[in-house]
Amino acid sequence: MELFDETLHSGVNLALDVEEVIYREKTDLQDLMIFRNSQFGLVMSLDGAVQTTEKDEFIYHEMFVHVPLLAHGNVSRVLVIGGGDGGAARQLMKHRDIAVTLVDIDRSVIELSRKYMPTVSGGAFDDPRLDLVIADGCKFVAETDERWDVIIIDSTDPHGPGEVLYTLDFYRDCKSCLADGGIIITQNGVPFVQESELKTSYDRLGSLFSDVTFYLAAIPSYVGGVMAYGWACDRAAHRKVSLAILAERYMAAGIPTDYYTPEVHQAAFALPLHIQKMLTRKD
């Protein structure tokens, strides 16, 4: 049996049995592979790094989407940068009265995900509330004059094509696209093995926003421990919404979830001390 050996982090490997290669092709932008694993079901990798799996994607995407939307409480427009697998879009479509713009640079990721991993997007790409834009996310936010309540940066790790989605200029352009009281959420990897990336994002976002932190979720296919989502906003009250209000919003939204609860939402912002120590901002 073939073995998929992810070596994203120096000295740490994730080895997955490959029961069947469903699809593999090096696109103009990335080396994309979809294969079947006995524990995770279908797995999508880009440039040798696991991006999403059928079995645990719900954790990643539920926490990406429902935390900012229920914290904000009045979201009508969301921008997703990346997210070509459609998982974030699927979770967003659970919310009523919402319009979503999804910008991804690689159409092939979207088409292959729709064809081979349809449960991840769950028909979101066919929802009329979704505006799909094939474009460079950096260029898009630099040039648009539209505004969104929440911006979700569902990027790959800061290597190769995804590296520009962690720059100060990109974050600054994203802020210019936020409506008043808007929230930016980022994918910031696994702090235990990606400390420098966490600290860099913290410093850059911290130079632009008054309320910057991270919240956590454990995603089995991401090696090294809990994963961090970056949170950036100029309205600290969004992060401090009471459990009672979160529960009220969750019930009113009527969204089905398998990981997210209002209690998990609140607890996710309680950072272990070793991660707090990483977040000493440079002035």
Domain count of the fold of the chain: 2
CATH number at residue 105: 3.40.50.150
* Same domain flag for 33 and 164: no
* Same domain flag for 157 and 260: yes
pLDDT in tens, 53-79: 999 999 999 999 999 999 999 999 999
**165 contacts 137 by C-beta, under 8 angstroms:** yes
| Local structure of 133: helix, strand or coil | strand
Where a domain ends, among 52, 69, 90? 52
Residue carrying structure tokens 């939402």: 265
Q: Which residues form the catalytic set?
A: 154
CATH number at residue 24: 2.30.140.10
pLDDT in tens, 178-224: 999 999 999 999 999 889 889 999 999 999 999 999 999 999 998 88
* Same domain flag for 48 and 92: no
The string of DSSP codes covering 186-215 is EE---TTT-HHHHHHHHHHHHTT-SEEEEE
Residue 46 domain flag: yes
* Same domain flag for 37 and 167: no
CA–CA distance, 258 with 45 (Å, rounded to integer) = 24
* Same domain flag for 41 and 66: no
Q: Which domain holds residue 48?
A: 2-52
* Same domain flag for 263 and 186: yes
* Same domain flag for 87 and 211: yes
* Same domain flag for 47 and 7: yes
* Same domain flag for 197 and 85: yes
pLDDT in tens, 7-66: 666 677 788 999 999 999 876 667 889 999 999 999 998 888 888 999 999 999 999 999
* Same domain flag for 161 and 265: yes
Q: Summarize the confidence of residues 119-147 as an average pLDDT.
A: 96
Contacts of 174-179 with C-beta under 8 Å, sequence gap 24+, read: 174/81, 174/141, 175/208, 175/209, 175/232, 176/141, 177/79, 177/141, 177/144, 177/146, 177/147, 177/148, 177/151, 178/147, 178/148, 178/149, 178/151, 179/77, 179/147, 179/148, 179/149
pLDDT in tens, 230-253: 999 999 999 999 999 999 999 999
pTM for the complete prediction?
A: 0.92
Looking at residue 110, what is its pLDDT? 93
Residue 78 domain flag: yes
Residue percentage of the chain with pLDDT more than 90: 77
* Same domain flag for 39 and 177: no
**Average model confidence (pLDDT) across the chain:** 91
219-258 CB burial, b ≥16 within 10 A, e <16: bebbbeebbbbbbbbbbeebbebeeeebeebbeeeebebe
Q: What is the dihedral of CA 167, 81, 257, 230, to 10 degrees?
A: 10
Give residue 160's pLDDT band: very low, low, confident or very high (50, 70, 90).
low
* Same domain flag for 48 and 63: no
Looking at residue 49, what is its pLDDT? 85
Residue 283 domain flag: no
